[in-house]
Amino acid sequence: MAKKIVVIIVVIGALASGLSWMLQKEQGMSHSSANEEGKLRVVTTTTMVTDMVKIIGGERILVQGLMGPGVDPHSYQVTFRDTAALQGADIIFYSGHHLEGKMQDVLEKRAKKHGGVFAVTDGIAKADLLQPEEEFQGYYDPHIWGDPALWAGCLSVVVDALSEADPNGAEQYQERAGRYRDELLALHDWARARIGEIAPEQRVLVTSHDAFHYFGKAFAVEVKGLQGVSTNSESGLKDRSDLVDFIQRRALKTIFPESSVNAKGIRAVAAEAGVQVSEHELFSDAMGEPGDTVTLHGETYDKGSYIGMIKHNVNTLVDGLK
């Protein structure tokens, strides 16, 4: 019996050592490659943050985004591979204001212990943040990217963090951020003009959850969501009944599903209210697939980029409500 126990212990030890070696080898290879190229190893959370950091960092950094298209950050669970990536990162960027749910606790602990962790929305003044009601009371609405002009305020956090870690690249980071800021402000003006094509009384956006209040405030669109600010909140029968009553009272013809939220709830509301569901999903908490390029209304854009995400949402809204 003792021999069997010894054998089992040896086997378990060998397996653990092998797993540890493979992980170290994988990390070591990526770290070695990064060091040889003189690039910072950067880990990001949501697709919107990843896109921003890649644009500002350019060729000077290596970026690993943890969340992909269609991923709901509110309920995201950290994986073993994510943990390894976070441990090996020089810098970590996340969105903040509890968008990443329980993952924020992990990031905050890492920040206290090692530093190098930054919430990009810390660049936004509190006076510009929205305070949601009900189950998210006490926290700010985290869906700041809905307003491109406000999202531009996050750029400075990325520039400052990258510049501190890589002073030689500071000028490049600043220049790239400056160009991108101009693009975001131009996007904001474009969206305002496009949404202006909808009659004011028809500018009502009904979606799966309350992810569009910054968008609504920026472009004078009334927003109603079946669920609250977090997709972890459950909509009750009264919520659904109230939303159906609202849709019928306002004589809406189209309501909108979201790419990162199950469409079952919003489709049930549409069926009960007697309205159509848009054939195109809105991008709320994640962008589309990189390389999914479309041409619409004379413009070509990639739905896997932040700018393409906003253009897709605006065009979908306008086409659905006009």
Structural domains in the chain plus CATH codes? 38-186 (3.40.50.1980), 191-321 (3.40.50.1980)
Q: Map tokens 């060091």 to a residue.
A: 35
Q: Which residue has the tokens 């992810």?
A: 211
8 Å CB contact between 98 and 128: no
pLDDT of residue 7: 37
The pLDDT assigned to 45 comes to 97
Residue ranges of the chain whose pLDDT lies below 70: 1-37, 132-138, 227-238, 260
pLDDT for residue 134: 56
Instruction: Give residue 322's pLDDT.
Output: 82
Largest CA distance in the chain: 82
pLDDT of 240: 78
Res 47: pLDDT: 97
Sign of CA dihedral 238, 242, 247, 248: positive
Structure tokens at 29: 């290879």
Predicted pLDDT of residue 196: 96
pTM: 0.83
Q: Residues near 91 by Cβ (< 8 Å), separated by ≥ 6?
A: 40, 41, 42, 43, 116, 117, 118, 161, 162, 165
Q: Are strands 222-227 and 40-44 parallel, antiparallel or unpaired?
A: unpaired
Output the pLDDT for position 138: 66
Rounded Cα distance between 185 and 152, Å, is 8
The dihedral through the CA atoms of 36, 40, 43, 48 has a sign that is negative
User: What pLDDT does residue 5 have?
Assistant: 41
Nearest of 254, 250, 306, 252 to residue 283 by alpha carbon: 306
Bridge partners of 285, per DSSP, are none
